[in-house]
Structure 1
Amino acid sequence: MNPSRILFPLLSLLLGACAVGPDYRRPELATPTQWQAPLPHAGKLDALSDWWAQFNDPALDALLRAAQADSPTLDKASAAIRSARANLRSAGASLQPSLSAAITQTQAGSKQGNGAMPVNTTASALDASWEIDLFGGTRRGIESARALNDAREADWHDARISLAAEVATNYVDYRACQLQLAAYQDALRSQRATAELTALAVKAGFSAAADGALAEASLASASASATAQAASCDVTRKALVALSGLDETRVGALLDSQPVRIPQPAARQIDSVPAQLLTQRPDLVSAERSLASASAQIGVADAARYPSLTLNGSISLSASNAASSVPWSFGPTLAIPLLNGGALSAKLESARAAYDSALASYKSAVRTAVKEVEQALVRLDGARRREDDARTSAAGYRAYFIASEANWRAGGTSLLNLETARRNAITAELNLISLEQTRVENWIALYKALGGGWNAEASSAASSTVSTPRN
């Protein structure tokens, strides 16, 4: 039989075949047309790239670079990308014919009295097979693998953004902690001077013993607060060591190289259209690509319920010291699933359920993204408006304490009034530092909520040209 009589009709059937299962379309989700929270700086469209450069803090920049260069989290995400790419190549190989070769050599004979020579046989064979993708199951598998590859690349970018935000937040925490420690230490020095003067007054009989006890108690309380704050700063420093991968000496040198201040971002403008999140946040891209993969898996499961056709062929050469032959074979194999106890239908239903679950996750991710931006804007606006009042309050309480201390030294007010004024002053100063810290961290939260300026198209093009996603 002429093999072309079988091959050509089958190829025609292949070219005309359609892939079963749904053709994926990204769902259109309802999003608000504008932010409902107050927008800083009029909310004009502006890129969020080079976000960290606006802080103009070399120590922060160095810590961010170190964290991005050596992070177990990014290494894990990078490994997931390599695995997804390998799966994609494996899926693509399923469309190609497979060819295998084998060589065998045997020696056979029998033990007889006449001393017959053994027969030496050498055989080589080529076996080929090609499964025709009649109903598109393999193509849907490739579609699914490609979407998952895109999702893993987006996950890596999301990990980078989260890592940068975590490093920056810890850095801001550390600087705020240092400022609060300085405030506690300043209060401690003032408290120590007060306690010394009170002790002299009690010894001279000018003050009651209760005043001495109050002064010593206030001094001990201030010392305990300063010690606790110092420990808190040390804990945050060690967090920066873990995140950056640098040794503690190097991290300490970086931190000490810059003045103790909370880094202040320059005025930034943001996009006021929530729909932009769909292309700007890598976690949403990952969720949408996972949804596309789940859709393609429906086609894979559906195609498994239909017949499969495989072209098989082989040719072999067998030679011995007795004879030689060249057998060959070619022909199709049609496999038809008949009875499987409903297993294939159950797999199809499972694939559809997995798609519904992925769709729900995608919808939830979009809603969460809009919520996070709205909340970041509200918190940022609230911190900004409260900060002016907090600064006025801190200045007023500080002035009142200075006046109260002068009055106490002159004998015009009690030690209890002085301690009350001191406590109000330190509380107001700590509150101001905390608000400055909160405002900057809300900027960082907004950066993360808006996807850090990540661009899906640019990142996709870049990732296709590098072998290691860290580059």
Structure 2
Amino acid sequence: MKRLSLALPLCLMLGACAVGPDYAGPSLSLPAKWGNAPASKRPLASRTLDEWWKRLGDKTLNSIVEEAVAGNLDVASAKARIREARATRRQAVGALFPSLDGTDSATRSRTSAATSSTGGNATSSLYKAGFDASWELDLFGANYRGVEAATYGADAAEEDLRATLLTLVGDVTSNYVEARGYQARIALARRTAASQRETEGLTRTKFQAGSASAVDVAKAAAQASSTEAAIPSLEAAYAQSLHQLGILTGQAPTALAGRLARGGPIPAARSTPPAGLPADVLRNRPDVRKAERQLAQYTAKIGQAEAALYPSVSLTGSIATSALKTGDLAKNASIGWSFGPTLSVPIFNGGELRAAVEVAQAQRDQYDSAFKLSVLTAMQDVENALVSLAQERLRAGKLSSAATSYRDAARLSRTLYQSGSSSFLDVLDAERSLYSAEDTLLQSRVAVSTDFIALNKALGGSWSKPVDVSSPAVVDVNTGPHPRTGF
């Protein structure tokens, strides 16, 4: 009580004060450079990552990304959360101001003859009008902290939209690259199977001429069938990527089937985006910024909870006029008013208010840990993507050399077989090895582009153009007073 007796006069003299901790950004110890990238002394500017997917050089992909941003349902939900957060902040701001209500009433009454002083029925009218006003003085900053928390919450909602866009663009690009990869692998399997059927025909001809065995014919047919058996699985995987692209753009699963049916190369980027400094993730990653804003929000909520431990003062007042005739309502004799403060002091509540403070503190600590984890996770994402992209590019180079060598070996073995200078087993082995090498190379090229996408996502590359969040997705009509239907 001593603390309250000293704090109340002080806040009354100063006009208002605030309790609870003032938010200060957390200090983190981050490494000076990345472990898997060349050392850099220059921070990474966010504009460096703007429209990073265009570096893959695919106009169809660019248009699909645009459609996804406009039609994706997760983005629509994130926009709605921003409108909700902003409206919540306006609600919190409204608590800082007085409230004023107006009342009007008209009563028509009749007094029975048994109770009337005139001995007969009496009918009269009574008219009333007035205003009621109240204002809670925010002496210890409960409402101020509420506005602060709501402001940080609105900031977090905006960062949530940016994080959603980052994930969306990455998912669209990854699924598009995978779809093109499956198309390339399907085309390869069909070409290889056609070539192997030609080998089967050649072997059957040699068998009829007596220079090949029935075993060679059976093996040639089996190898062609094995290659053809891979096509249905690849077709199914392609369809799944295609369907996911449709959903990501907010359309039916097969909406993009016609546009992708023509086929196209696997998108590839020749360059690697600069990694900058580890500290850049604090500025460029929207999920990290969102976690920091949530930490600030829940720090402010501690002040809200602590303010409930202190007295609250409200000013209330009313003015009313009543008369038997409407023309007499404004006359001085019919006007009454009241005004005065109300003081409320928490005395005993079974520890509920103090427990509420501890709850808020525990929640703040949870978001503090979540923020620090988001920073570490972001750094891990960057390091993993740097290593994966560099190593996969090396692997793709070796696979390309291997495919070239196997292609030469397959051509030579077939030529030698036709001339009778090589066994059929050499042809089978060469064709099998060539198909495996070329298919693995295609998968590696998809992996290189996927790692490029992952690195741009890890660095915080996202949609940079303005996004309209003010327009609701659902426009209600006939919202004014109207006859009810149903229950």
Q: TM-score, normalised by structure 1?
A: 0.90
Q: How far off its partner does 1:115 sit?
A: 3.0
Q: Which sections of structure 1, spanning at least 5 residues, go unmatched?
A: 1-8
**Whole-angstrom distance in 1 between the partners of 2:10 and 2:294:** 33
What is the CA RMSD across the aligned residues, in angstroms?
Answer: 2.6
- The residue aligned with 1:23 is 22
SS of 2:241's equivalent in the other structure is helix
- Partner of residue 391, structure 1: 400
Once the two structures are overlaid, the 10-residue window that deviates more, 435-444 or 290-299, is: 435-444
**Segment of structure 1 superposing worse, 403-412 or 32-41:** 32-41
What is the deviation of 1:414? 2.7
User: 8 Å contact 1:119–1:321 — kept in the other structure?
Assistant: no
Task: Summarize deviations over 1:28-81 as a string: whole Å, max 9, x none.
Answer: 111111000034999984611131222231100110011011010001101110
Distance in 2, Cα, partners of 1:92 & 1:11: 24
Change (3 A) 1:123 1:16: closer
For 2:288, the equivalent position in structure 1 comes to 284
* Contact 1:280/1:453 (8 A) holds in 2: no
Which of 337, 340, 344 aligns to 1:328? It is 337
| Deviation of the 1:468 alpha carbon | 4.5
Tell me how far apart the structure 2 counterparts of residues 268 and 469 of structure 1 sit (CA, whole Å).
39
Question: Which residue pairs with 2:33 in the alignment?
Answer: 34
Q: Give the number of equivalent residue pairs.
A: 455
Which residue in 1 is equivalent to 2:62?
A: 61
Once the two structures are TM-superposed, the CA of residue 268 in structure 1 deviates from its matched residue by: 4.5
Cα 1:248/1:181, change in 2 over 3 Å: same
| Equivalent residue, structure 2, for 1:85 | 86
> Against the structure 1 CA distance between its residues 182 and 174, is the aligned structure 2 distance closer, same or farther, given a 3 Å change threshold?
same
**Match of residue 353, structure 2, among 333, 339, 344:** 344
Contact kept in structure 2, 1:41 and 1:269, CA below 8 Å: no
Partner of 2:382 in structure 1?
373
Structure 2 CA distance for partners of 1:387 and 1:40, relative to 1, 3 Å: farther
TM-superposed deviation, 1:360:
0.4
In structure 2, how many angstroms separate the alpha carbons of the residues matched to 1:393 and 1:201? Answer: 30
- Asked if structure 1 preserves the Cα contact closer than 8 Å seen for 2:43 and 2:280, the reply is no
Alignment of 1:169-184 (within 5 A): 169-184=174-189
Contact 1:280–1:454 (CA<8 Å) still a contact in 2?
no
Q: How does 1:171-210 map to 2 (within 5 A)?
A: 171-210=176-215
SS in 2 for 1:109: strand
Q: Larger deviation: 54-63 or 359-368?
A: 54-63
Structure 1 residues 42-57: aligned runs within 5 Å:
45=44, 47-57=48-58
SS at match of 2:339: strand
The alpha-carbon deviation at position 419 of structure 1 amounts to 1.5
Q: State how far apart, in whole Å, the 2-side matches of 1:202 and 1:268 are.
A: 54
Question: For residues 94 and 354 of structure 1, what CA distance do their matches in structure 2 show?
Answer: 24
Trace 1:124-139 onto structure 2 (pairs within 5 A): 124-139=129-144
What are structure 2's unaligned runs of at least 5 residues?
Answer: 1-7, 474-487
Cα distance, 1:420 vs structure 2: 1.4
- Structure 1 window deviating more from structure 2 (166-175 vs 243-252): it is 243-252
Q: Which of 166, 172, 181 matches 1:167?
A: 172
Indicate how the Cα distance of structure 1 residues 45 and 301 shifts in structure 2: closer, same or farther if over 3 A, else same: closer
Indicate if the aligned counterparts of 1:43 and 1:270 stay in contact, CA closer than 8 A.
no
- What does residue range 229-268 of structure 1 map to in structure 2 within 5 Å? 229-246=234-251, 251-256=256-261, 260-268=264-272
One-letter amino acid of the structure 1 residue matched with residue 457 of structure 2: K
CA contact 1:43–1:271 (8 Å) conserved in 2: no
- Whole-angstrom CA distance in 2 between matches of 1:327 and 1:153: 50
What do the CA deviations read for 1:141-177 (whole angstroms, capped 9, x no partner)? 1100000100000000111111011001111111111
1:354, distance to aligned residue in structure 2 (A): 0.2
2:417 corresponds to 1:412? no
2:415 aligned counterpart, secondary structure: helix
Q: Give the drift of 1:325.
A: 2.6
| Separation (CA, whole Å) in 1 of partners of 2:441 and 2:272 | 22
Within 2, Cα distance between the matches of 1:165 and 1:116?
83
Deviations 1:265-289 (A, max 9, x none): 2525414201011111111110000
2:80/2:469 contact within 8 Å kept:
no
- Is 1:432 aligned to residue 441 of structure 2? yes
**CA distance in 1: counterparts of 2:397 and 2:182, whole angstroms:** 21
Kept in 2, the 8 Å contact 1:55–1:263? The answer is yes
Q: Offset at 1:262?
A: 1.4
Residue of 143, 147, 151 corresponding to 1:142: 147
On the 8 A contact 1:281/1:454 being kept in 2, the answer is: no
Instruction: Give the C-alpha shift of residue 293 in structure 1.
Output: 0.4
Deviation readout 1:2-41 (Å, 9 max, x if unpaired): xxxxxxx999826443200001001011111100003499
> What are the superposed Cα offsets for residues 391-431 of structure 1, whole Å, 9 maximum, x if unpaired?
11110011111111112222233323221111111111112
Query: Which letter does structure 1 place at the counterpart of 2:146?
Result: G
Is the deviation greater in 206-215 or in 398-407? 206-215
> 1:41·1:267 contact (CA, 8 Å) conserved in 2?
no
- Conserved? CA contact 2:166–2:462, under 8 Å: no
Give a deviation string over 1:225-282, Cα, whole Å, max 9, x none: 123222322222222222223567762343356x621122252541420101111111
2:12 maps to: 13
In the superposition, relative to structure 1, how do residues 93 and 251 fare at CA in structure 2: closer, same or farther (>3 Å)? Answer: same
Tell which deviates more after alignment, 237-246 or 295-304: 237-246
Corresponding residue for 1:467?
A: 470
Pick which of 212-221 and 423-432 moved more: 212-221
Most deviating of 80-89 and 41-50: 41-50
CA distance in 2, matches of 1:105, 1:90: 33
TM-score, length-scaled by structure 2: 0.87
Between structures 1 and 2, the one with greater helix share: 1
